[in-house]
Amino acid sequence: MDYLKPDRFDTSDVKGKVTIYGLYIIIFISVLCIISTIFEINLIASIIEENGRNIDRREITGNDTRQFILFIVWSITYFGIGVGFISWTYSALKNLDCIRLSTKYTPAHAVFPWFVPMISFFYPRLVLGELWEQIHLHSEKTYPGKMLLNLWWGSFLLISITYCLRNLTAHEAITVEDLITSDFWHITHLIITIIAAIITVLMINIYTEKEDILFRKLRMERRKKEAEQTGY
């Protein structure tokens, strides 16, 4: 039985590395955003202390401009990482079919759940869980178990929750104290984003390593069978 179709094998290693580079960038930008937000909190505190007096309007304008630019850069990078991660997951699912490992999901399942309300809060976790389980069932090395995967998904949910809380408090802010509360939620959101990015890097590295090992093993077994059949 031809259980390996190398012509269809699309290594997810390259896509994984591109996504990891994007994650490193989002970590760096998130740190800059945290520092910038701390400066904003200090500025707001100064406004409260001075009761609005002796505050240079250019300083306020500069703060708003800096925050806006960082927000745009962060959002574009985050979107790019999302596309890269989905592309990596798509390739990983495609490769499971290539090496004939049974799975309940098709490569399309790596894409559409992220864009469907409510489903996006649980279905991607099921898809990644299937990938994680299949690749490790056929791996000779030990792995961290599903704890890492659960931490990744939990951090993703916390990113969504803290993002909503940050926007809610910002839109309903009336006093400067409300603005500070919004900024604290923003910092919390960024810290969780950094943690989630680190977990995702670990997860992609572990998976792609085991995928490569498994593919090499199956390819060697195929070549051995071909050699036995041809007598070479």
pLDDT tens, residue by residue, 167-218: 898 888 777 788 888 999 999 999 999 999 999 999 888 888 887 777 777 7
Residue 4 scores a pLDDT above 70: no
pLDDT at 92: 84
Give the tens place of pLDDT for each residue, 88-106. Answer: 888 888 877 766 666 777 7
pLDDT at 53: 62
What is the rounded CA–CA span in Å between residue 130 and residue 137? 11
Rg (CA), the chain: 23
Q: Residue 79 is encoded by which pair of tokens?
A: 């979107």
Helix axes 57-98 and 176-230, enclosed angle (nearest 10): 20
Indicate the helix (H) or strand (E) that contains 231: none
Q: Residue 130 is encoded by which pair of tokens?
A: 């299937």
What is the rounded CA–CA span in Å between residue 229 and residue 231? 6
Q: Which amino acid is at 200?
A: T
Find the range with the poorest average confidence among 1-5, 133-137, 218-222: 1-5
User: pTM of this prediction?
Assistant: 0.83
The mean pLDDT value for 61-74 works out to: 93
Task: Give the number of residues written for the chain.
Answer: 232
